[in-house]
Structure 1
Amino acid sequence: MLINCENHWDIDKDMPDVTGKVAIVTGGNTGLGKEIVRQLAKRGAKVYMASRTESRAHGAIDELENDHPEIKSKAGIVFLQLDLTSLASCQAAAKQFLEKETRLDILINNAGIMATPYELTKDGFEMQFQSNYLGHFAFTQPLIPLLIETSKDPSTSVRIVQVSSTGHTFAKDEVSFNPDLPYSETINRDFGTPWARYGQSKLANILFAKELARRLADHRIFSSALHPGNINTELNRGTFQSYPWMKPASKLFSVFLTTPYKGAITPLYAATADEIDKNNWRGEYFDPLAKHTTPSKLAQNAQLAQDLWALSEKIVLEKYGALA
């Protein structure tokens, strides 16, 4: 897929002040997520850095506050424990947030892994599918009532952003989220390649955004998905696990990757730009840099999106015992 990387929206020039808003960024302690947290916190948002490892999160928070002393005088950054490979942790994190806050303006589901070897989580699901999508579903679903309540405030424009990838095009045409089939025939299929499994998970991100938009159509909540670009971050570790022969050439590959700052342009555009609201862009997809575009044919399949939602609800009920 060829991507038009001409930049029509600039973080420094165009990103609005977000003072008074509350945001959550998953995977916010490193790479793209950390840059997103940086920019939101600099502009006054109270940002929850949802991460698995507390020590790494606090290290990242200290670094950001040292780099930008003004963050301390604003709403600041707060650690939120979140392990996407545990559905119980995802729902517990949502509960913990709801006990602390009375609003949620921006939710950016950013955390993820890429092209890792085949493995099941302790919940019994393919690792990429749960890390990139299913954990985010289990975390997001309990937050929906608060997102709806926040959207009643006329001073805000509530955003839910799924960081997907152009890699969603790697999903096989025979992908299925039929809730009536065994998991071995749907989300736990090997597909013969780490990239096809990655594609399935990133396809799910886009379908999730579209189904959220359909279900929240009566509210001032703008759900979207995006490809942030090919970024030089820790995300590439999974690729080297699956293809060790590529690791010696990692420095060479990095020459062709963009910076986390440039990678943050598209998710921050989706999360804050006035254009999203003005154009009533709901369930839409964006490419670098902040370009409204069209995803794959599979990603536009409304029935597939509804099947995914039904399957996700079924899993959370079975594994956790409740939806919220």
Structure 2
Amino acid sequence: MGYKKRFVFENIPDLSGKVAIVTGGNNGIGFITVRELVRKNAHVFIANRSKEKTESAIELIKKEIKKDTVEFLQLDLKSLNSVKKAAETFLARNLPLHILVNNAGIMATPFETTQDGIQDQFGVNHIGHFLFTILLLPTIKASAPSRIVNVSSVAHKTIPPAGIEFDKLNDPNAHSTYIRYGQTKLANILFTTELNKRLLGTNVYCNSLHPGVIKTDLWNSLVSSWSSWKKPFFHIGTLFMISPEDGALTQLYCATSPEIEEKNLRAKYFVPYGELGETNAQAKDEELAKQLWEFSEKFVKEKLGDDIFSTIG
């Protein structure tokens, strides 16, 4: 892709004593992220829906790294009750949390709604991570210096002029599958912006990123919806995609690089490999970021009760 690697695995510092959670860490760039955090002595939880797939990933890591500081944490981002239970399960361990990588996501899937009745891409890619992060926030703050990493995408630029059309999220005819995806990736950046405002005065560093165009299974849903004549072009395009190993580098930079603290990098958007990137105008819209937060908070409270955030300082 022509990216210069200013950050590689060898640049990750020793993470002894650090605890991390990586959502969707059983495959793709999430798996590589977990593997390299464990390699550098972090205690890592893979937060994922499938116990079977996650345990297989854990065994692969243990076999290669010869360390057992990696665990499964049950998390289904399509269910707010599951998200709440996952946070409670982790918090019951009374461990610190130094690194949260909100990596899991779905891309350009056919229209469905989550168990809570919201479009599934928006529910998984944003709402689920929103709730998970907020519930873990007191521990993240108490563990500072700490990091929150939200995996976005250059697809945040593929959106309607308004950015996120909240009133059309559940309209299956309002947007294409990829535009729906783009809105969720914009939400990742806007969530980072508003969360950073609320973290002023703390040593919690929250940033977002585009990991690159990566050859992973994430493309399957989008390509399966294409006409047969288009599919050969995708296979040609994979020749120019980067590997999951390279794709994980930018989120590992955000999660571990000493530069984040040394340069006080907050609410930034990074591109491969640890470079500051440029977002579109909608991603810079602080009013839209506030509106997204209020929409997300209201939605969660409607589903789980007004007291869901009562313990959050």
Using structure 2 for the length normalisation, give the TM-score: 0.93
Residue 233 of structure 1: how far off its partner (Å)? 1.1
The amino acid of 1:68's aligned partner reads I
Residue 240 of structure 1: how far off its partner (Å)? 2.4
Q: Which runs of structure 2 are paired with 1:229-308 in the superposition (5 Å)?
A: 229-243=212-226, 245=228, 246-247=230-231, 251-308=235-292
**Identity of counterpart residues, as a percentage?**
40
User: Does 2:16 align with 1:19?
Assistant: yes
From 34, 39, 44, give the equivalent of 2:41.
44
The amino acid of 1:255's aligned partner reads L
* Coordinate RMSD, CA, aligned: 1.6
Residue 31 of structure 1: how far off its partner (Å)? 0.6
Residue 221 of structure 1: how far off its partner (Å)? 0.5
Residue 249 of structure 1: how far off its partner (Å)? 5.7
User: Does 2:178 align with 1:195?
Assistant: yes
Q: Which runs of structure 2 are paired with 1:1-324 in the superposition (5 Å)?
A: 5-12=3-10, 14-69=11-66, 71-72=67-68, 76-151=69-144, 157-176=145-164, 185-190=167-172, 191-243=174-226, 245=228, 246-247=230-231, 251-321=235-305, 322-324=307-309
Residue 160 of structure 1: how far off its partner (Å)? 0.2
| Distance in 2 (alpha carbons) for counterparts of 1:208 and 1:34 | 24
| Distance in 2 (alpha carbons) for counterparts of 1:176 and 1:258 | 29
Greater Cα offset, 289-298 or 249-258: 249-258
The amino acid of 2:49's aligned partner reads R
The amino acid of 1:116's aligned partner reads T
| Distance in 2 (alpha carbons) for counterparts of 1:241 and 1:123 | 26
Q: Note the residue ranges of structure 1 that are not aligned, 5 or more in a row.
A: 152-156, 178-182
Please tell me whether the aligned partners of residues 118 and 126 of structure 1 are also in contact (alpha carbons under 8 angstroms). Answer: yes
Change (3 A) 1:175 1:251: closer
| Distance in 2 (alpha carbons) for counterparts of 1:243 and 1:89 | 33
Please state whether the residue corresponding to 1:143 is helix, strand or coil. Answer: helix
| Distance in 2 (alpha carbons) for counterparts of 1:311 and 1:254 | 37
Instruction: Report the equivalent of 1:154.
Output: none
Name the count of aligned residue pairs. Answer: 306
